[in-house]
Amino acid sequence: MDESIREAMDTSKQGNRLLPILSLLFTASLWGVIWYPLRLLEEQGLAGLWSALISFGAVLSLFLWVPLRERESLQSNFLPFVLMGLSAGWCNVAFIMAVLDGNVLRVLLLFYLSPFWAVCLGWLLLGERLDGQSVLVFAIAVVGAMIMLWDESLGMPWPRDSADWLAVSSGFAFALSNVFVRGLQNVSVLLKSTGSWGGVVIVASIWIWLSSTGFPTVGSSVLFAAVALGLCGFLVMTLTVLYGVTRMPLHRSAVILLFELVIGAISSLLLTDELVLPREWLGGFMIIAAAALAARIHARDEA
């Protein structure tokens, strides 16, 4: 084979290995700052539940044709598809409610107890096993998260209010939805994304109905901003996270997504009066190291 052709193929192969990693780092960065526009919308009178319903509903309305086009795939995977959608729906709605009511960094930390759930669920439901390096990655990430979470005034890293419990339940739902994503290998990313958006609309609608939350009186500019957040934010975030999670083991994608903690810490430092302690920075650097090592292992195994 000509040397130039071989080099081109090697470069293409390397790009294909790195793309899932980059997609997860990208979506983690977006999730680390998404709380800010959500809080701005809430300040304008649009509550979190309605923000979720309008933003994700706008995205879903553009892709209702996808289940019709791929109805054979949907029918053959109907139950896991529905479970994936509902777990993704709870994940997103609970996260939005938690990040609006709680401390940003604490919510993110409690959400990212999800690697615990990811490893357990991956082992129980997918038969994934951890090698020595993967155990090291997991340990570094978890220790880093615990260092960031520890606060003597708050006690052990344990949920203390509704925002904390919502964050924990969101993290569990995120890990569970990723289990179904990994299991639906023969389902397109676009169909899985549509299922996730539909799950958010269903969960938010039921929550609004149960809480008897009336439609807020807000201007058209606020509603337009919520729609724009869905089309420019949640749409991209869903596609990139599903693309990355589909293409690597569950425990590694969970660790790489911990990068959101670092972005969340930086954004909360810059945009709020929340303080980030040296201990929390140390934990953040450990998480970055774990994410980098996880990415390296994934690239090695795909070579």
Nearest to 85 by CA among 255, 244, 167, 204: 204
Query: What's the pLDDT band for 161 if we cut at 50, 70, 90?
Result: confident
- Which pLDDT score is estimated for 272? 81
Comparing 131-135, 199-203, 216-220, the range with the smallest average pLDDT is 131-135
Query: What's the pLDDT band for 158 if we cut at 50, 70, 90?
Result: low
Q: Which residue has the higher pLDDT, 137 or 52?
A: 52
Query: What's the pLDDT band for 157 if we cut at 50, 70, 90?
Result: low
Q: What is the pLDDT of residues 281-297, one digit of tens each?
A: 787 778 777 767 766 66
In the chain, where the domains are located: 37-131+156-248
Residue 13 CB partners (closer than 8 Å, separation 6+):
303
Check: CB of residue 17 under 8 Å from CB of residue 303.
yes
Proportion of the chain above pLDDT 70, given as a percent: 79
Give 101: exposed, middle or buried? Use CB within 10 Å, 0-12, 13-18, 19+.
Answer: middle
Model confidence at 211: pLDDT above 70: yes
Nearest to 88 by CA among 208, 172, 147, 168: 172
Give the chain as a 3 state SS string. CCHHHHHHHHHHHHHHHHHHHHHHHHHHHHHHHCHHHHHHHHHCCCCHHHHHHHHHHHHHHHCCHHHHHCHHHHHHCHHHHHHHHHHHHHHHHHHHHHHHHCCHHHHHHHHCCHHHHHHHHHHHHHCCCCCHHHHHHHHHHHHHHHHHHCECCCECCCCCCHHHHHHHHHHHHHHHHHHHHHHCCCCCHHHHHHHHHHHHHHHHHHHHHHHCCCCCCCCHHHHHHHHHHHHHHHHHHHHHHHHHHHCCCHHHHHHHCCHHHHHHHHHHHHHCCCCCCHHHHHHHHHHHHHHHHHHHHHHHHHC
Model confidence at 218: pLDDT above 60: yes
Check: CB of residue 108 under 8 Å from CB of residue 166.
no
Query: What's the pLDDT band for 5 if we cut at 50, 70, 90?
Result: very low
Mean pLDDT, range 217-233, rounded to an integer: 92
Q: What is the pLDDT of residues 20-44, one digit of tens each?
A: 888 999 998 998 899 999 999 999 9
Proportion of the chain above pLDDT 90, given as a percent: 35
Q: What is the pLDDT of residues 226-253, one digit of tens each?
A: 999 999 999 998 889 888 887 877 667 7
Which of 248-257, 259-268, 294-303 is modeled with the greatest confidence? 259-268
Average pLDDT, the chain: 81
pTM: 0.79
Comparing 45-54, 55-64, 108-117, 294-303, the range with the smallest average pLDDT is 294-303
Return the structure tokens found at 275: 């303080």
Query: What's the pLDDT band for 298 if we cut at 50, 70, 90?
Result: low
